[in-house]
Amino acid sequence: KPPKRNSAFAASAPEAPAMTQAAIKQLVVDSVTTALETQATTMANADNANRNSKPR
């Protein structure tokens, strides 16, 4: 005998995919944005280090 929660989940399933997809898209956008900002900061720091280490 299956538990009752399966039927409750099935009844609410049609609403879940759209919200889940939107949430996943937002997480991806946030993750990519964070990664690019981190990379830009790292590159800027490396560039500054290279400039500062050159003999004058």
CB-neighbour burial class of residue 24 (10 A; exposed 0-12, middle 13-18, buried 19+) = exposed
Does 53 have pLDDT greater than 70? yes
Give the per-residue pLDDT at 42. 94
Does residue 26 form part of some domain? no
Does residue 47 form part of some domain? yes
Does 7 have pLDDT greater than 60? no
Does residue 13 form part of some domain? no
Number of domains in the chain: 1
Does residue 54 form part of some domain? yes
Residue 49 binned pLDDT confidence (cut-offs 50, 70, 90): confident
Which domain does 37 fall in, by range? 31-56
pLDDT tens-digit series, residues 12-40: 555 556 668 889 999 999 999 999 999 99
Does residue 20 form part of some domain? no
Q: Is the full-model pTM beyond 0.75?
A: no
